[in-house]
Structure 1
């Protein structure tokens, strides 16, 4: 799977996102990279933040406390 084609990724909406169009964060996981986007915008054209999987695990460890 190409990192250059976020539209081909399988995206999952955060369980903290509301169902009414507000605060929507989506994540797509690849073996070495995690992709994050704000789905309030058009999901097909929204900017995507791509992080190494190791950095994502550190981030999750910090926010989960």
Structure 2
């Protein structure tokens, strides 16, 4: 179970594709889980399993969510890797 103390100690990483208007996603590696939040609204977050996050990142990179991924020559945003600490 993830608690507030875990999140307070977490090291959050902002996406390298963040824009200047603040459209950013931050991710924190929590071991077997990953917390995701909007960088402008740090009090709200959701937690997913690390395997689910990795599957999502792979899907983004492969262009499975409505825009071309890098492999297809597109410029899909690359979320931060949950394995960063």
Q: Map 1:1-65 onto structure 2 (within 5 A).
A: 3-5=2-4, 6-18=7-19, 20-41=20-41, 43=42, 46-65=43-62
Runs of 4+ in 1 over 6 A off after TM superposition: none
Q: Distance in 2 between matches of 1:55 and 1:40?
A: 23
Q: RMSD in angstroms over aligned alpha carbons?
A: 1.6
Gaps of 5+ in 1: none
Larger Rg: 2
Calculate the TM-score normalised by the size of structure 2: 0.63
